[in-house]
Amino acid sequence: MAQTNPTNTSMSPMGPFKITVYDQEHFQGRRMEFTAACHNIMECGMDNIRSFKVECGAWVGYEHSSFCGQQFVMERGEYPRWEAWSGSNAYHIERMISFRPIFSACHKESRIIAFERENFMGRQFEMCDDFSSLQAMGWCNNEVGSMQVQSGAWVCYQYPGYRGYQYILECDRHGGGYKHYREYGSHAQTFQIQSIRRIQQ
C-alpha cells in the first residue's frame, strides 16, 4: 500500500490556477477552461455556469458579474450541480456569473483575529485552525463584529458546520481588515457568523 503524501501538494507554490466550467449540469454542454479571473461569463457566450471542475488552486465564484453578490468558495474537486457549491442559502438564485482565483489561500499558514464588535473592538480571539462551531470553541455569541486576516484566506459562514451564506476573507484584500459586516460581502445583512475555516489551496 502506497501512502499518499499530501505535504508536497499543499505546500506547493501558489498557482497555477485552472477551472473548467460547463453551461449544463453534470459537466455537459459548452465547456471552457480558465486560468485567471472571469468578470462576466456571459461575455464568453455562456448564459450561466451549471457545473464545473476545479483542477488547480482555490477560487471564489459570485452570483453577479464583476465579483458581486453571493460568494461561493470553490476548492479542488468536482461540482456537478448548483447544490454542490452553493451550500444552503437564504435564496436559491442558481446563478454564477463571475469568478476569480484566491491567491492567498494557504492551509498550513493561516491566521485570523475575530473581534466581538465592529471596528476591531471588544473581545478578540486569534485562530489558526478550523472551527465548525465558534460557540463550542468558546466564542460569546452567534455574531462576529469585525475580523483581521493576518495570513492566508478564510471562509466564514452564517450557521455552524460551514452552512449558510459564505464570506471569503483574504489577507491580500482590504489589507486583511474587515471592520463591519458590510465588508464581509455585498450580500451580508447581519453580523451572524457561527463557523469559520481556512481555505485550502
Q: By CB under 8 A, name the one of 89, 150, 151, 186 that touches a second copy.
A: 89
On the question of a cis peptide bond just before residue 101, with omega within 30 degrees of 0, the verdict is no
**Nearest 5°: CA angle at 154, between 148 and 157?**
100
43 in Cβ contact with 87 (< 8 Å): no
In the bound state with a second copy, the residue whose beta carbon lies nearer, of 39 and 76, is 76
Report whether 59 contacts 33 (CB < 8 A). Answer: no
Among 15, 44, 161, 180, which residue interacts with a second copy (rule: CB under 8 A)?
161
Residue whose CB is less far from a second copy, 35 or 40: 35
Looking up cell 470553541 gives 137
Query: Closest approach of Cβ 160 to a second copy, in Å?
Result: 4
Q: Figure out which of the listed residues 1, 13, 45, 175 binds a second copy, where binding follows CB under 8 A.
A: 1
d(CA 13, CA 75): 16
* Binding residues for a second copy (CB under 8 A): 1-10, 54, 58, 73-79, 83-90, 107, 121-125, 130-140, 142, 155, 158-164, 194-195, 197-201
